[in-house]
Amino acid sequence: MWCELNLSNPETAGPWWAGDLSISIYSVNDYMFEIPGDWAASNTPGKLLATGRFRDGGWPGQGPSLYAIGPWNDGNPPALYIRLDATTLLHYGSSYTPGGHTMNNYHHSDEWSGGTWLTSKDKSA
């Protein structure tokens, strides 16, 4: 998850965990993208990366997940295997949790990959 820009000598670092023990490994590690600086400054100070996952089966959640992280806040690079502070932006209940929050029209075979932050004029999502 961390490398230098010189790809002939990338000096990779990691891995790390995102958030506390309540965040499943199945809820992160699929997509990652930049959070706009102005939005992050107001809502997730110091956390400019979004990470999440939506895989089939409902283990991580019955809908997509999204967390804001800032690995550089824990070192340059952070130490191996530490838990990075994470802010939950979107999360649905697991299929193992009866009565958990479920995305409308969710089905266990649903699976998405990839993500991006959309901005148009004065609106973003």
* Burial classification of residue 11, based on how many CB atoms lie within 10 Å of its CB (0-12 exposed, 13-18 middle, 19 or more buried): exposed
pLDDT bucket at 1, cuts 50 / 70 / 90: low
Residue 117 lies in a domain: no
Residue 119 lies in a domain: no
Residue 38 lies in a domain: yes
- Residue 19, phi then psi, degrees to nearest 5: 75, -170
* Token pair for 48: 């400019």
- What is the domain range of residue 71? 17-97
Total residues belonging to the chain: 125
Q: Which residues contact 4 (CB under 8 A, 6 or more apart)?
A: 10, 11
Residue 41 lies in a domain: yes
Residue 43 lies in a domain: yes
Residue 121 lies in a domain: no
* pLDDT, tens digit (0-9, with 9 covering 90-100), for 2-21: 888 999 999 999 889 888 87
Residue 22 lies in a domain: yes
Number of structural domains found in the chain? 1
pTM of the model: 0.84
Residue 9 lies in a domain: no
